[in-house]
């Protein structure tokens, strides 16, 4: 595996930098874009400083990294975890001919301890993980400080309200470690950070922080290999995925996951039910609690940061679910439904919830409570099975919190625009403001081949209304498995939706980058426009195509559609100059 293949490349004038605060215990990697100065008639009239952008690529974006997946990432959290003194070594990872990571020490909670971020948050303790995410979320504030600018006020004429309080109002202009702690303690935010995933750069999921996105990867019975999945993981974090779900269902599930965890700088989630089902030859009725429990522990020991568990699919919802336009479309939901029908018993994940909570607490694995009854068509949106399950998710949230386990709730799916707000409001109410984590939703069923877009519409809206993390959807949704291009398209589309929501929520970070981009656009600073874009490489390629492969800067003073005579931005900057030169004209009636 060659260096070029895995290195995150930056265009000119941008690079990975490390940021820290005085007396802080942590240093956070980010992407710094150095802006070009502003020129007028060949004379430099202003320096524009730089913009520091939140980055997810971890050491893969460091110029001097080893770029060798067989060596894994540095374990930056080792000391933080051991200093808490609440864990013991429970064994070492077995050697394997499918990966080179045998011999790794496995941690678990000391008897009577709960080494979770929520445990410490509730007791008033600020962990290094909380410090890390506060600094990371605060990148935009640092932008302002370093550039000696005041924070740019978001311009909002309509904030979303929840229970009478304007939504954006809760987001502080300067995010402190204490604010992070309080949000985690209240259950409004989670920091998924398994004690066995010390390679992780901590991040926070909660609606009073930047909206996050997740990428699903994973092989299937039909396609894909370990190196392909590792490459997809690196590709996803390069483009900005905040977390990663490994949904493998095919061969080599465990080894694939080991490769991913040891190389992944962002939290990794799984659906343990898939591996459990694999163990019983794919027959849902053969599943038992014991088999499932063993899978949970095995994956927790590997370092998985959050588990999707479909514990809220109850028997009483099945008749109504079977009467829907598209029945049950979640894999986890259908597996559990089939198990319940075969056994005539209640969902065993629901029945064993407290035992599951104990396992989660022992490794600080966070819950992502599955929505096994999410609608598979707009016709089924917000129906009785979906909303019934959501209420049960709320009960399970509160029970998990009693065990100091961090929780988020999964949501749909397929929801037409006019029904999205109601879904979000129900989740906030019924799940006591636990973070919501939605799959889109797509806002129409007929967009096959374009479902990344159909779902980005719903995703941007529901994130504005309060969803904390968006699970990406690729153009291949409903049609096939995504390839690398699809993963990039899906990730960038979701970064877009998340950023649009941050802007609409009045997050202090969001307007800053948009304004830097707009100034660069107005002044024809093309390199800055590329670097400030969500996908600098694509922006540059499109521009270069337009200018016939010529250097972008050489065709600087007119833009796209217009040609040199017609450029409206140039004309309006001339107007501005005229008005400046003739102050009397300002008074023009």
Cβ 155 to its own copies, closest distance in Å?
Answer: 7
> Which structure tokens are listed for 401?
């919190």
List binders of its own copies among 247-266 (CB under 8 A).
Answer: 247, 249-250
List binders of its own copies among 295-324 (CB under 8 A).
Answer: 315-316, 318-319, 321-322
Residue 418, C-beta contacts closer than 8 angstroms, at least 6 positions apart: none
468 neighbors 209 (Cβ within 8 angstroms): yes
CB-wise, 198 or 245, nearer to its own copies?
A: 245
List binders of its own copies among 186-245 (CB under 8 A).
Answer: 220-222
Residue 537 CB-density burial (10 A; 0-12 exposed, 13-18 middle, 19+ buried): middle
Q: Give, in degrees to the nearest 5, the angle at Cα 285 between 282 and 286.
A: 70
CA-to-CA distance for 55 and 239, rounded, in angstroms?
9
Cβ 404 to its own copies, closest distance in Å?
Answer: 32
Asked if 581 is part of the footprint of its own copies (rule: CB under 8 A), the reply reads no
Q: Binding its own copies by CB under 8 A: which of 328, 360, 366, 509?
A: 328
Asked if 338 is part of the footprint of its own copies (rule: CB under 8 A), the reply reads yes
Q: Binding its own copies by CB under 8 A: which of 49, 228, 515, 556?
A: 515
Query: Is residue 441 reached through a cis peptide bond, with omega within 30 degrees of 0 on the bond before it?
Result: yes
Q: Where are the alpha helices (DSSP H) in 382-507?
A: 384-402, 420-430, 451-465, 484-505
CA-to-CA distance for 191 and 349, rounded, in angstroms?
23
Cβ 244 to its own copies, closest distance in Å?
Answer: 16
List binders of its own copies among 276-295 (CB under 8 A).
Answer: 277, 282, 284
Asked if 447 is part of the footprint of its own copies (rule: CB under 8 A), the reply reads yes
Asked if 40 is part of the footprint of its own copies (rule: CB under 8 A), the reply reads no
Number of residues that bind its own copies (CB under 8 A): 128
* DSSP code, position 252: -
Asked if 91 is part of the footprint of its own copies (rule: CB under 8 A), the reply reads no
569 neighbors 522 (Cβ within 8 angstroms): yes
Cβ 518 to its own copies, closest distance in Å?
Answer: 3
Q: Binding its own copies by CB under 8 A: which of 193, 456, 462, 509?
A: 456
CB-wise, 79 or 285, nearer to its own copies?
A: 285
Measure CA 96 to chain center. 31
Asked if 589 is part of the footprint of its own copies (rule: CB under 8 A), the reply reads yes
CA-to-CA distance for 495 and 246, rounded, in angstroms?
19
Q: Which stretch binds its own copies (CB under 8 A): 206-214, 294-302, 353-361, 553-561?
A: 553-561
List binders of its own copies among 157-186 (CB under 8 A).
Answer: 157-160
CB-wise, 366 or 439, nearer to its own copies?
A: 439
Residue 210, C-beta contacts closer than 8 angstroms, at least 6 positions apart: 54, 137, 498, 502, 507, 509, 510
Residue 110, C-beta contacts closer than 8 angstroms, at least 6 positions apart: 85, 86, 87, 88
Dihedral, 234, 238, 241, 245 alpha carbons, nearest 10: 0
Taking alpha carbons only, the member of 296, 246, 250, 244 closest to residue 272 is 296
Q: Give, in degrees to the nearest 5, the angle at Cα 470 between 465 and 471.
A: 150
Cβ 397 to its own copies, closest distance in Å?
Answer: 23
CB-wise, 358 or 429, nearer to its own copies?
A: 429
Q: Binding its own copies by CB under 8 A: which of 76, 191, 361, 501?
A: 501
Q: Binding its own copies by CB under 8 A: which of 431, 500, 509, 527?
A: 500
Asked if 46 is part of the footprint of its own copies (rule: CB under 8 A), the reply reads no
Asked if 351 is part of the footprint of its own copies (rule: CB under 8 A), the reply reads no
Q: Binding its own copies by CB under 8 A: which of 151, 416, 429, 556?
A: 416
Angle between helices 289-302 and 253-263 (to 10 degrees): 30
Asked if 546 is part of the footprint of its own copies (rule: CB under 8 A), the reply reads yes
CA-to-CA distance for 417 and 410, rounded, in angstroms?
18
Asked if 481 is part of the footprint of its own copies (rule: CB under 8 A), the reply reads yes
Q: Which stretch binds its own copies (CB under 8 A): 94-102, 148-156, 301-309, 355-363?
A: 148-156
CB-wise, 236 or 492, nearer to its own copies?
A: 492
* DSSP code, position 53: E
Q: Binding its own copies by CB under 8 A: which of 4, 64, 150, 418?
A: 418
Collapsing DSSP to helix, strand or coil, 99 comes out as strand
Cβ 144 to its own copies, closest distance in Å?
Answer: 15
Q: Which stretch binds its own copies (CB under 8 A): 27-35, 192-200, 251-259, 372-380?
A: 372-380
Asked if 457 is part of the footprint of its own copies (rule: CB under 8 A), the reply reads yes
Dihedral, 3, 197, 76, 213 alpha carbons, nearest 10: 70
Query: Could you give the maximum distance between any two Cα atoms of the chain, in Å?
Result: 85
CB-wise, 26 or 419, nearer to its own copies?
A: 419
Q: Which stretch binds its own copies (CB under 8 A): 11-19, 27-35, 286-294, 411-419?
A: 411-419
Q: Binding its own copies by CB under 8 A: which of 381, 407, 409, 468?
A: 381
Q: Binding its own copies by CB under 8 A: which of 92, 145, 479, 550?
A: 479
Asked if 124 is part of the footprint of its own copies (rule: CB under 8 A), the reply reads no
Q: Binding its own copies by CB under 8 A: which of 333, 385, 394, 490?
A: 333
DSSP string, 196-246: T-TT-----EETTS--EEEEEE---SSS--HHHHHHHHHHHHHHT-SEEEE
Angle between helices 451-465 and 484-505 (to 10 degrees): 30
Written in H, E and C, the secondary structure of 138-173 is CHHHHHHHHCCCCCCCCCCCCCCEECCEEHHHHCCC
CB-wise, 112 or 563, nearer to its own copies?
A: 563
Q: Binding its own copies by CB under 8 A: which of 476, 487, 490, 491?
A: 476
Asked if 13 is part of the footprint of its own copies (rule: CB under 8 A), the reply reads no
CA-to-CA distance for 207 and 427, rounded, in angstroms?
12
Q: Binding its own copies by CB under 8 A: which of 390, 504, 509, 527?
A: 504
């Amino acid at each position: 595996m060659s260096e070029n293949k895995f290195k995150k490349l930056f265009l000119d004038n941008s690079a990975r930098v490390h940021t820290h605060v005085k007396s802080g215990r942590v240093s956070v990697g980010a992407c710094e874009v150095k802006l070009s100065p502003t020129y007028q008639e060949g004379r430099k009239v202003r320096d524009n400083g730089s913009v520091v952008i939140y980055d997810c690529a971890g050491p893969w974006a460091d110029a001097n990294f080893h770029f060798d997946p067989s060596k894994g990432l540095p374990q930056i959290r080792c000391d933080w975890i051991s200093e808490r003194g609440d864990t013991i070594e429970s064994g070492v990872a077995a050697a394997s001919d499918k990966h080179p990571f045998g011999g790794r020490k496995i941690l678990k909670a000391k008897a009577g301890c709960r080494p979770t971020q929520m445990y410490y948050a509730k007791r008033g303790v600020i962990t290094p993980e909380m410090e890390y995410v506060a600094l990371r979320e605060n990148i935009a504030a640092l932008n302002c400080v370093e550039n000696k600018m005041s924070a740019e006020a978001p311009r909002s004429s309509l904030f979303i309200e929840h229970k009478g309080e304007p939504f954006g109002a809760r987001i502080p202009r300067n995010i402190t470690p204490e604010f992070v702690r309080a949000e985690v303690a209240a259950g409004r935010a989670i920091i998924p950070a398994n004690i066995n995933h010390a390679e992780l750069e901590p991040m926070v999921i909660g609606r009073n922080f930047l909206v996050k996105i997740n990428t699903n990867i994973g092989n299937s019975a039909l396609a894909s290999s370990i190196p392909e999945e590792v490459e997809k993981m690196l590709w996803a974090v390069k483009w900005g995925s905040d977390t990663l779900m490994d949904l493998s269902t095919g061969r080599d599930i465990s080894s694939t996951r080991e490769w991913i965890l040891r190389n992944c700088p962002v939290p990794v989630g799984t659906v343990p039910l898939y591996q459990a089902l694999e163990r019983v030859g794919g027959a849902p009725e053969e599943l038992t609690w014991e088999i499932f429990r063993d899978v949970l522990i095995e994956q927790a020991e590997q370092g998985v940061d959050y588990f999707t568990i479909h514990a809220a699919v109850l028997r009483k919802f099945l008749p109504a679910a079977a009467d829907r336009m598209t029945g049950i479309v979640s894999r986890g939901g259908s597996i559990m439904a089939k198990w319940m029908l075969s056994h005539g018993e209640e969902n065993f994940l629901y029945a064993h919830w407290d035992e599951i909570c104990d396992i989660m607490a022992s490794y600080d694995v966070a819950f992502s409570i599955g929505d096994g009854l999410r609608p598979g068509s707009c016709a089924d949106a917000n129906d009785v099975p979906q909303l019934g399950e959501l209420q049960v998710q709320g009960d399970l949230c509160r029970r998990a919190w009693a065990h100091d386990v961090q929780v988020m709730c999964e949501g749909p799916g397929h929801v037409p625009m006019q029904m999205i707000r109601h879904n979000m409001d129900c989740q906030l109410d019924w799940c006591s403001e636990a973070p919501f984590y939605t799959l889109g939703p797509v806002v129409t069923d007929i967009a096959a081949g374009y479902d990344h877009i159909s779902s980005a519409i719903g995703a941007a809206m529901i994130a504005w209304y309060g969803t904390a993390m968006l699970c990406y959807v690729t153009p291949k949704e409903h049609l096939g498995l995504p390839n690398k291009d699809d993963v990039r398209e899906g990730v960038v589309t979701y970064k877009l939706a998340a950023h649009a929501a941050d802007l609409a929520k009045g997050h202090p970070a969001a307007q800053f980058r948009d304004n830097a981009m707009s100034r660069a656009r107005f002044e024809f600073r093309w390199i800055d426009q590329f670097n400030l874009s969500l996908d600098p490489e694509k922006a540059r390629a499109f521009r270069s195509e337009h200018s016939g492969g010529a250097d972008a800067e050489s065709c600087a003073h007119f833009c796209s559609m217009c040609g040199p005579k017609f450029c409206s931005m140039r004309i309006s900057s001339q107007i501005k100059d005229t008005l400046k030169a003739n102050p009397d004209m300002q008074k023009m009636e």
